[in-house]
Amino acid sequence: MADITPALVKDLRDLTGAGFSDCKKALTESGGEMEAAVDWLRKKGLSAAAKKSGRVAAEGLIGVASGPNVAAMVEVNAETDFVARNVTFQDFVAEVAKVALAVGEDLEAIKAAPYPGAARTVAEQLTYLVSTIGENMNLRRARVLKVGRGAVATYVHSAVRPGLGKIGVLVAVEGESELEALERLGHQVGMHVAAARPDALDVDAVDPAALEREKAVLADQARVSGKPEAIIEKMVEGRIRKYYEEVVLLEQVWVHDGESRVRAVAAKAGVKLTGFARFQLGEGIQKQETDFAAEVAAVAGG
């Protein structure tokens, strides 16, 4: 069993925000293993981080990082927009994006990786931030794109500082053009993706289930006309082409001129768009809606 020194207890206190005696007991029960001690405290509900873990975190930041032929993007959530303006939190998101660039987009691999400049893993550093800043936080998702010959461009909308913002986009561009030209076009495509919100790169990449749902809705709408099924089928085919123009990147109208297709823009530049990713902060998270006046009235009436 490891020697439970005051320094070890202090490290656990810094990491979890738990009391001295609880940290000492946790380390004793876990044989001096720090991660096991953190888990022991969390199970007992003694860790400050554990007490905050049930609170909804839908704010935070998107972070991007780039390297030769590769780029990474992460979303780290917190409870309030105030924390997103915290320099310590911003630094954490920026460093986690760099970690993802090195280890890939698997969340468990990122969490287990060493956090730069600290004797902690990324997961442990996040727990430490929860304890010190006082809000629930989590590393929600990550994405990494790579290319063979070309560049992975990045775009960040509503940036609070370079590489950090509310919307992030990665665009993989392959071609023989100069790197600067590829990155410039990729940046423009990134702006387009941020605004137009495509779901798929090309028609073949459209989610089959989503396509079938769309066809079913369009068919039901067409049947209201009372036309024969053969005619309805052709009507649906025409409307599906319109659907592709809305959700497929290469079929969308280029937002920068309002008339060209993205496919034509790429072809004119002599490049191939091979992938993209778009993260918007908090999308899909069910935020808690509270009626403060009703809460006060309920307490007063209780």
pLDDT of 5? 87
Taking only the tens place, the pLDDT of each residue in 47-106 is 655 545 445 556 899 999 999 999 999 999 988 888 889 999 999 999 999 999 999 999
The fraction of the chain above a pLDDT of 90, given in percent, is: 51
Please state which CATH number belongs to domain 59-202+250-280: 3.30.479.20
Is 219's pLDDT higher than 90? no
The fraction of the chain above a pLDDT of 70, given in percent, is: 87
pLDDT of 51? 47
Is 290's pLDDT higher than 50? no
pLDDT of 45? 60
Sketch the domain layout of the chain as residue ranges.
6-51, 59-202+250-280, 207-247
pLDDT of 62? 97
CATH code 1.10.286 for 207-247: yes
Is 292's pLDDT higher than 50? no
Average predicted confidence (pLDDT) for the chain: 86
Is 302's pLDDT higher than 50? no
Q: Which residue, chain included where needed, has tokens 């925000």?
A: 17
Taking only the tens place, the pLDDT of each residue in 137-147 is 899 999 999 99
Pair 67, 170: CB distance under 8 Å: no
Taking only the tens place, the pLDDT of each residue in 175-206 is 988 889 999 999 999 999 999 999 999 999 99
Write down the pTM of the prediction.
Answer: 0.74
pLDDT of 201? 97
As a whole number of angstroms, the distance between CA 164 and CA 279 comes to 12
Nearest to 187, CA basis, from 104, 94, 273: 273
Kindly state which CATH superfamily the domain 6-51 is placed in: Ubiquitin-associated (UBA) domain (1.10.8.10)
Pair 214, 225: CB distance under 8 Å: no
For residues 269-276, average pLDDT = 96
pLDDT of 128? 87
Q: Which residue, chain included where needed, has tokens 């990147």?
A: 249
11, 67, 158 from 76: Cα distances, Å:
24, 21, 16
Nearest to 214, CA basis, from 201, 227, 199, 196: 199
- Report angle CA 179, 185, 187 to the nearest 5 degrees: 100
